Structure 1
Amino acid sequence: MASKKYLLLAGAVGLLSASTSFAQVQPTGYDALDSSKVSSKRMVQQNNFTNHQSNFPAKPRDMWELGFSGGLHLISGTVPPQPGFGGGVSLRKALGHTFSLRAEYIGSIDKGQDYKLRPNSPAGGINPWAKTAALNGGMIVPNYKSQNHQLSLDVIASLSNILFYRAEPKVNWYLLAGYSIVMADVDVDALDANGNGYNYSGINFGAKRSDIRKQIKDLRDDKYEQNAPSQGNRVSIGRNDDNQLLRHALDLGTGVAFKVSKRFNIGIEEKITMPFDAYLDGYAAPGSGGSSKDFYSYTSLRLNFNLGNPAKRVQPLWWINPLEYAYSELSSPRHMKLPAPVLPDADGDGVTDQFDREPNTPAGAPVDVHGVAKDTDGDGVPDYKDKQLITPTYCQPVDADGVGKCPDPECCKNRPEVTCASLVLPSVSFKGSSTKVGNDQEAILASVAATLKSNPSCNVLVTGHAGAKGKKGGVDLSSRRVDSVIDYLADKQGIDRGRFIKQNTPGESGTVDLAPAN
C-alpha cells in the first residue's frame, strides 16, 4: 500500500512537470534566472545557483531613487510656531528588500511668535531683548526667524515586503531613523526701526490669542535684526556673524509611497529631527535649564524617480517581493530538479500497473483505459484472438476463433436449385477494330465473373464473329477479341481458364457472346 502511495505522488509530480509546458507563470518584478541584471562580482554565486550548486541566487543590480520633497516645516519649542516651508532633495539606495540608505538635504525657513509675556532669560552672554525688557518690567514676548540647513543619512525599513501576499507592492509603508547635522541661523525681532525696544503697554494681554498676536504684529517692524540667544558652539556663517548654530541630531520618521509606474512614485512623509537644543526658537523657558529641547517637524510631499537602465537593473528592491520567484517556482517550475516519475507497466499496454485491471495483456493487444483487452463485438473472444472482429449478435455464439455461424435467411431456405443451362450471360461489344477490354466491357465482365463464381460447376462458351465468308482478317480480329475476354476473366477476376470454350462463327457483329456450355 505504501509503495502505491509513493507511485501516486510520483505521478502527481510528473503531471505538475508536464503542466509547465502549457502555462509558464514567470515573476513580474524579479526573475532570479535573469543573469543580465547581476553584476560581474556576483556572477560566481549566480552561476552556482544556475548549476544547482547553491540554493540562493545573487542579488540583482537595482535602481537608485532620486527624490524631491516640499512641505510644512515647523520648530516645536517654547515659542508657538507659524507655518514654515521646507524643501529637499534625496538619493536612496537599497541594501536589500527591506532596508535602504537615504542621503538627504533639507532647507527651511521657520518663524514663531509668542502671545504671552515671558521673563527675559539671556544665555551665552547675548541679550538681544535687553531694551524691550527694560520697557516692560523685565518681560518680553519672544519671536524668531530661523533659516535652517540639514544634511541627513537615514536607514529606511520598508514594511510592505513583510506582507508576502502580493507580487509587487503598490503601496510602500516605511519607518526611518538616522543622523543629521543641522546649521540654524536664528534671529529675533527685538528692536523697532529706530533701534528702541518694543513697549507692550498698549497690548491687551487679556484678549483672545489671535487678537494679541495681531496687536503684536502691528507693533513690530518684522526686521529680525538681532542674533537670538543660544547655548553651545557657533560658526561664522549666516546673515549675522557668530549666529549660526551647528548641531548633531537624531532623525525619526515614517512615510508611505504610492507606485505610479516602475519609474515614478509619490510619497507622504513625516520626519522629526531632534538636535537636543532648547534654543532652536531663540528662547528657553526659565527654570528649565535648557532641559526642554526643541525639535524640527517636516511634513512633506515627495516625488521619487528611479534611476538606471531597466535592461540592466530591476526596480529598487523595496518594490519587489523577494518570495515572488519562490512562489512562481512552486506554481510553474523552471529551475527545480524534478525526479523522473517511476510508473511501472509490466505488460507495456500503456496503462500503469496500479490502474491495470488485466496486467498480463499480450504485447500489441488493444486495451481500454483500464488495461482490459478490447472485445469490439462482445462475443467473448478478445480482439487480438478474434478472426471475425465484427460478428453480428444473431450469428453468435462463436467458436474459439471468434467466428460465428449465421443461419440462412428465410427467403433463401427454399430457393430452387440453379442449373448451368438456365444461366443467362451478356455479350461484350467492341468498336471498330478494337480488341482491348475497356471500362464499359470491364463492368459487364465483372458481373459475368460474379455469376461464374457462384456457379463453379458451369463452363462458358465464348463465341466471336469472324466476318463475312470467314475472311482471314476477320478471323484474326475475332480470335483476339475472344482471347481478351478470356484473359480478363482469368487474370483479373480469377476464373479458371479450363472453364472457357472458344469458337468463331461467320458474321459482321462486333460482339463476343458468352453462353453456358451445355
Structure 2
Amino acid sequence: MASKKYKLMLVGILSLLSLGVFAQDTGVYNIYDSSVISSKGQAQQNEFMNNTYDFPAKPRNEIEIGISGGMFSVSGDVSAKIPTAGFGIHIRKALGYVFSLRGEYVYGVAKGLNWKPSFGYKNDPAWSAYNSAILQPVYYNYRSHVQDLSLQGIFTLNNVRFHKQKTGFVLYGGVGFGATIYNTKINALNGSTPYNFSSITASGYSNRKDIRKALKDMMDNSYETDAENNRKNSPTLGDNTLKPSGSLIAGIAFKLSKRINLAIEDKFTFIKDDLLDGQQWQEHSVADPVQTRDFDSYNYASVGLNFNVGKKSVEPLWWINPLDYAYSEINNPKHMKIPKPVFDDADGDGVVDQLDKEPNTPAGCPVDTHGVSRDTDGDGVPDCKDKQLVTPTECQPVDADGVGKCPDPECCKNLVPAPAACQIGDLPSVSFRGKSSIVSNDAKAMLATVASKLKDNAACSIIVTGYPAASKASQALCNKRVAAIKAYLTEKEGISADRVDTNCEVGGGDANTVDIKAK
C-alpha cells in the first residue's frame, strides 16, 4: 500500500515539473516601475531616476507561503520504520537577493522497532513490567509525535547569473534555530499483560524481516506506555518535552509560474536529547547499565508547493537576477547619462586626435584613414612635397624632393648597331635587239655579276626598269623583258623573288635597254 502511495506521489511530482518546463513566464522586473517601490524608498528612487544616485531603491517583493509533505524519521538508538509521514507549513520573506528569513512549523510522526532483543533496560521505567535480572528480552520500539517551530536563514545559491537573464530553478541552503516538542510512547503491553518476547527464537541479520513480521503479528499497535523522558528535568508544554533545536536545510525549487513553485527539500534537525526514540541505554552488563553516546536527531524530507502573495510587488527577490538591469543597461543604455562626445582634430586633417597616428600633419597634405600623410609611391616623401609623385621602385631611394635616379634600362646596355645601307655599287644595263625578250648570253654574263653582288650584300634589293614607248605593244614587250630578267635571277641564280622588283617607265630612256639599280 505504501509503495502505491509513493508511486502516485512520484507521478504527481513529475506532472508538476512538466508544467514548470512549459510555463511561459517572460516577465522581468522593470527597474523604472515606481509602483513597486515603498514610500520609504521613493526618495532614493527619485534620485536614481534623476541620475544623482547610482542605485535604484529595493522594490517591494512578495511573501512566499508554502505547504509540504513527506517522510519524517528519527535517527536514534532504535531502528526507524520507513516510511513515516510529516507535513509542514512556512512563510518566507526576502531581505535581499540572496538572503531570506523563513518561519516554519513541522509536524511529524516517527516510529521505530528493533529486530534484535535487548536486556539492558533495568533503569528504563517504561519496561518495568519485564525482568532484566532473569534476562527476559524486550524489543525496543516507539512512536514519537514531534512538532518543530523554527526561524531559518535561507541562502539562495544560483539566482545571481552572469551569462543568463534568469533561471527556472533555484538551489538554496540554510540554518535554523527554534524549539521542538515531542511525546514518545512505546508498545510494551498487550492490554495490561507483557508480551511473550521469549517466544521469538529467530536471530541474526538474515532473519530480521521474519523477526519484525513476528513482532508485528504479536503486538497490538497500541503504544500505551509513556517512554522514558526528561519531563521532570526539562521544560514541558503540556505532555510534551520542550527542547531547543537547530537545523540544516538544503533544497531545490522549480518555478511553475510567476506565483507558484515546487520545492524538494531536506531538513535535518538536532536537539540535545537522547529520548526522541524513548531509549538511551546501551546493551551493557545488567548490573552496570550505561547510556548511549550520541543524542538523537530527526530528518524531514519533503515535497512542497509554494505560493507568492502580495500586491504591487515583484516576485520574491531570490527569483530575480540582480545583474539583469546592469547588463541590459550596458548593452542597451536607456537611463545611463552619457556625455556628449567631443572629437578634437588639432592638425585639421579630418581624422580625430584619438585615431590620428600622425597628430602634426602639415596643412594641406592629404592623409589616409589613420591621419598619416599620403605617400603614393612609398618613397618616404609625402605627396604634398613630392615633385615626382610616382617614382618607380627601381628609381629609389630619392632625394629630398622625392625625385629618384633611374638606372639605364637593360635593353640599352648592349645596343646592336643598325644595319649599313646597301653598298652594292653600280650595276650593268641589259640590251635587247628588235622585239626580242630573250636574255642573250652576254646579258646572262652581266646578270651573273648582278647575282654575285646580291649574294654578297644580303641587305640589298634591286629594281629592273624598262623604258617602253607609249604604245601598248611597246609596254607589253617591256613587261616581258623585265620579267625575263627577274626569272633568270630567281630561277637560275637563286636570288629571292622579293629582292627583285620590276618596273616599266614610259619614255624614260632607250626602249631596248633595261637598267638594273639598287633600291
TM-score by length of 1: 0.58
Instruction: Note if 1:129 corresponds to 2:127.
Output: yes
Give CA-to-partner distance per residue, 1:436-468, whole Å, 9 cap, x none: xxxxxxxxxxxxxxxxxxxxxxxxxxxxxxxxx
**Which residue in the other structure is 1:387 paired with?**
none
**Partner Cα separation in structure 2 for residue 117 and residue 297 of structure 1:** 26
**Partner Cα separation in structure 2 for residue 274 and residue 122 of structure 1:** 27
Q: SS in structure 2 opposite 1:213?
A: helix
Is contact 1:136-1:200 (8 Å) kept?
no
**Partner Cα separation in structure 2 for residue 41 and residue 225 of structure 1:** 58
**Partner Cα separation in structure 2 for residue 234 and residue 152 of structure 1:** 17
**Partner Cα separation in structure 1 for residue 337 and residue 197 of structure 2:** 85
Give the superposition deviation at 1:57: 1.2
**Which residue in the other structure is 2:297 paired with?**
295
**Partner Cα separation in structure 1 for residue 299 and residue 270 of structure 2:** 9
Change (3 A) 1:234 1:104: same
Give CA-to-partner distance per residue, 1:122-181, whole Å, 9 cap, x none: 66xx61211134596253211111112211111100001244322122110000101121
Give the superposition deviation at 1:121: 3.2
Give the superposition deviation at 1:335: 1.3
Q: Where in structure 2 are the equivalents of 1:22-33 lying within 5 Å?
A: 29-33=28-32
Change (3 A) 1:185 1:337: same
Give the superposition deviation at 1:337: 1.1
Higher relative contact order (CA 8 A, sep 6+): 1
Change (3 A) 1:136 1:65: farther
**Which residue in the other structure is 2:107 paired with?**
107
Give CA-to-partner distance per residue, 1:312-344, whole Å, 9 cap, x none: 111100000111100111001111111111236
Instruction: Note if 1:40 corresponds to 2:35.
Output: no
Matched to 2:93, the amino acid is K
**Which residue in the other structure is 1:377 paired with?**
none
Q: Where in structure 2 are the equivalents of 1:154-165 lying within 5 Å?
A: 154-165=152-163
**Partner Cα separation in structure 2 for residue 183 and residue 60 of structure 1:** 38
Is contact 1:181-1:246 (8 Å) kept?
yes
**Which residue in the other structure is 1:340 paired with?**
340
**Which residue in the other structure is 1:305 paired with?**
307
Change (3 A) 1:229 1:334: same
**Partner Cα separation in structure 2 for residue 116 and residue 370 of structure 1:** 91
Give the superposition deviation at 1:29: 2.6
Q: Where in structure 2 are the equivalents of 1:13-412 lying within 5 Å?
A: 29-82=28-81, 83-121=83-121, 127-133=125-131, 137-193=135-191, 195-206=192-203, 208-231=207-230, 232-233=233-234, 235=236, 237=238, 243-286=239-282, 289=291, 291-309=293-311, 312-343=312-343
Change (3 A) 1:313 1:349: farther
Matched to 2:280, the amino acid is A
Give CA-to-partner distance per residue, 1:97-129, whole Å, 9 cap, x none: 000011111111111111111234366xx6121
Change (3 A) 1:236 1:303: closer
Is contact 2:89-2:104 (8 Å) kept?
yes
Give the superposition deviation at 1:285: 2.9
**Partner Cα separation in structure 2 for residue 55 and residue 271 of structure 1:** 40
**Partner Cα separation in structure 1 for residue 74 and residue 202 of structure 2:** 24
Is contact 2:181-2:237 (8 Å) kept?
no
Change (3 A) 1:203 1:138: closer
**Which residue in the other structure is 2:21 paired with?**
none
**Partner Cα separation in structure 2 for residue 185 and residue 269 of structure 1:** 25
Is contact 1:257-1:266 (8 Å) kept?
yes
Give the superposition deviation at 1:218: 1.3
Is contact 1:77-1:294 (8 Å) kept?
yes
TM-score by length of 2: 0.58
Q: SS in structure 1 opposite 2:92?
A: strand
Is contact 2:144-2:184 (8 Å) kept?
yes
Q: Between Structure 1 and Structure 2, whose CA radius of gyration is higher?
A: 2
Is contact 2:136-2:198 (8 Å) kept?
no
**Partner Cα separation in structure 1 for residue 242 and residue 32 of structure 2:** 50
Give the superposition deviation at 1:289: 3.2
**Which residue in the other structure is 1:378 paired with?**
none
**Partner Cα separation in structure 1 for residue 122 and residue 346 of structure 2:** 102
Is contact 1:135-1:199 (8 Å) kept?
no
Q: Which runs of 5+ in 1 are unaligned?
A: 1-26, 238-242, 362-368, 372-518
Q: Where in structure 2 are the equivalents of 1:428-439 lying within 5 Å?
A: none
**Partner Cα separation in structure 2 for residue 127 and residue 216 of structure 1:** 21
Matched to 2:294, the amino acid is S
Q: Which runs of 5+ in 2 are unaligned?
A: 1-25, 283-288, 372-519
**Which residue in the other structure is 1:443 paired with?**
none
Q: SS in structure 2 opposite 1:81?
A: coil
**Sequence identity, in percent?**
41
Give CA-to-partner distance per residue, 1:484-512, whole Å, 9 cap, x none: xxxxxxxxxxxxxxxxxxxxxxxxxxxxx
Matched to 1:116, the amino acid is K
Give the superposition deviation at 1:84: 0.9
Deviates more, 1:340-349 or 1:211-220: 340-349
Change (3 A) 1:135 1:288: closer
User: How many residues are matched?
Assistant: 329
Q: SS in structure 2 opposite 1:104?
A: strand
Is contact 2:76-2:295 (8 Å) kept?
yes
Q: SS in structure 1 opposite 2:130?
A: helix
**Which residue in the other structure is 1:380 paired with?**
none
**Partner Cα separation in structure 2 for residue 220 and residue 65 of structure 1:** 44
**Partner Cα separation in structure 2 for residue 352 and residue 163 of structure 1:** 39
Matched to 1:204, the amino acid is T
